[in-house]
Structure 1
Amino acid sequence: MKRTIGFIAALIFLTTAVPAQNYGQAATIPLWNNASAPHTNGITTPETETEPNRIGNTSEAVLYLFPAETSKATGQAVVICPGGGYSRLCMDKEGYQMARWFAANGITAAVLKYRMPNSHPEVPLEDAERAVRILAGLEAGATGFTADRVGIVGCSAGGHLAAMTSTMAATRPAFAILFYPVITGERGKCHKGSFDRLLGPGRTDSLTAYYSLQNRVTPRTPPTLLLLSDDDRSVPPVNSTAYYNALKENGIAASMHIYPAGGHGWGMRDDFACRAAWQQAVLEWLGSLR
């Protein structure tokens, strides 16, 4: 049910200034909650945090903004969608730590705490689209931090959200970077838990196909970089390869890096052997877009 939006995003600066050289968070930007957003996910109980930086049961969308290092600023910005199987959010290694790395390399980053779908797929999508619009200066809330080219980054289920924003939103990001993304709901290829929580365990085949994003790519889909491990047993690599093939069939500039080992969910982990390789690949690819 549509709701009247009576909430204007406010920019709230932290009371303690963070030195620029630390590439720290500079602002917290509330987007909306279930009462003020166009749709509700139906969650009425408090958020959970069963372990540090693993947040579940979210019903309020918030952006945490990390400005680019001024001397390296590229004019690019990214909205980062952490993963967590659409049941919780990995806010550190797929959120804040990644944002600091982007900021240190001249790209303003905003980590999105998005609302869990809880069988309402339109809910995280409208959160991500509004985050892109705010960071692009199309809506109020991020004055002084906006960018001309705003992309979206997502890990795992957050990669599904980033790809969903790239293919289904009215306002599309300028580019997308997808880390080991959930893409398809096809049997034998999907991360079943993510799709069950996105659409409900009784999801129909037609609804599953609709949100299998290799089916939603069009010439309007932005350039995309995919990064994953060949030995990922949580989200099969065919998710990324199917999306890459769909991008190429539609004439979209795309690149894909498949690392031999690392499994799933490595994000900013220090022990991922290809960490330096993926970081170089991301910066080179972003440079090619400028």
Structure 2
Amino acid sequence: MSFEKRIQLSSNNYGMLTYVKEAKRDIFVIFPGGGYQYTSQRESKVVADKILNEDFHTLVYYYRESKLLYPETTLEVYELLTKLKKEPNIGRIFLLGFSAGGHLALQTVINYKNFISGAILAYPVVSTEPDLIHQGSFDALLGESKKYLDEVSLEKQIKRKLPPIYVWHTEEDKSVFVGNTYKLVEKLVLTLTPHMVRIFENGPHGLSLATSEVAPENVDPKLFEETYKEQSTWLKEALNFIKSI
């Protein structure tokens, strides 16, 4: 039987850790999206529940209860990872990040690769290049200062082989342009990072699981699930990729 444990961090941010059972298992740390402004409920517990069914422990990281700015955001991730490493029932650590959460997850892979065994990135924010930037995310992450604008453009920070990465996006995404994923994949190829990429032709930003449980408000859940049936295959494909590592 699963049970939960709250991991409090030095700020008001925290992680909600769920053990699938009282045994050692690998864990997925989930970074929901929300433009670095809030935690998307459509990309948090509902996703964790699906991953629990695959015999992984999970932790949903609520990283915007205190709206830390970069680089404090990365220091807090280190605090979280060190706490997880002390948990006796946790094996390998994998990350799953959505949108701006994908940015923080990818940054974590780059900065703390020795902690991480692999990552799944869903329509991630990656670049601060003018033709690709998701302005709202970086405004929330950096505040008024643009001192670190190049440093948080993550394609510029990938200079060595990373743990395996699965990434997916849609060509129709008008919020976080698919060019972010193309830019990322270029660097993954150059650094010989094992990766798998899936680009779906259709679908807006924020599809999450693309199932009825995560249908946006004022959208018929059955219609949503039927419309994005193909896109919903990403989770199974991504977990198969992770399990092959």
User: What TM-score does the superposition give when structure 2 sets the normalisation length?
Assistant: 0.85
Aligned 8 A contact 2:210 2:232 in 1: no
State the partner residue of 2:7: 29
Listed as ranges, the matches of 1:100-249 within 5 Å are 100-115=49-64, 118=67, 120-137=69-86, 142-143=87-88, 145-147=89-91, 149-169=92-112, 171-204=114-147, 207-249=148-190
Q: Which residue of structure 1 aligns with residue 217 of structure 2?
A: none
Q: CA deviation at 1:255?
A: 0.8
| 8 A contact 2:93–2:116 mirrored in 1 | yes
Q: Report the secondary structure of 2:27's partner residue.
A: strand
Distance (whole Å) between structure 2 residues aligned to residue 74 and residue 215 of structure 1: 36
What do residues 99-152 of structure 1 show as CA deviations (whole Å, max 9, x unaligned)?
111111011110111146857212222222222232233xxxx34x311x1011
Give 1:194 shift: 0.5
| Bigger Cα Rg | 1
* Counterpart check, 1:66 vs 2:66: no
Q: TM-score, normalised by structure 1?
A: 0.73
1:220/1:127 Cα in 2 relative to 1: closer, same or farther (>3 Å)?
farther
Matches within 5 A, 1:48-67: 60-67=12-19
Size of the aligned set, in residue pairs, is 230
Q: How well do the aligned residues superpose, as a CA RMSD in angstroms?
A: 2.2
Q: What 5-or-longer segments of structure 1 have no aligned partner?
A: 1-19, 34-59
Gaps of 5+ in 2: 212-223
Alpha-carbon distance in 2 for matches of 1:172, 1:208: 25
Deviations along 1:225-253, one digit per CA (max 9) or x if unpaired, are 10111110000001111111101101110
Question: What is the aligned-residue identity percentage?
Answer: 25
Amino acid at match of 2:136: G
For residue 195 of structure 1, report the CA deviation from its aligned partner: 0.9
CA distance in 1 between partners of 2:31 and 2:162 (Å): 18
Higher relative contact order (CA 8 A, sep 6+): 2
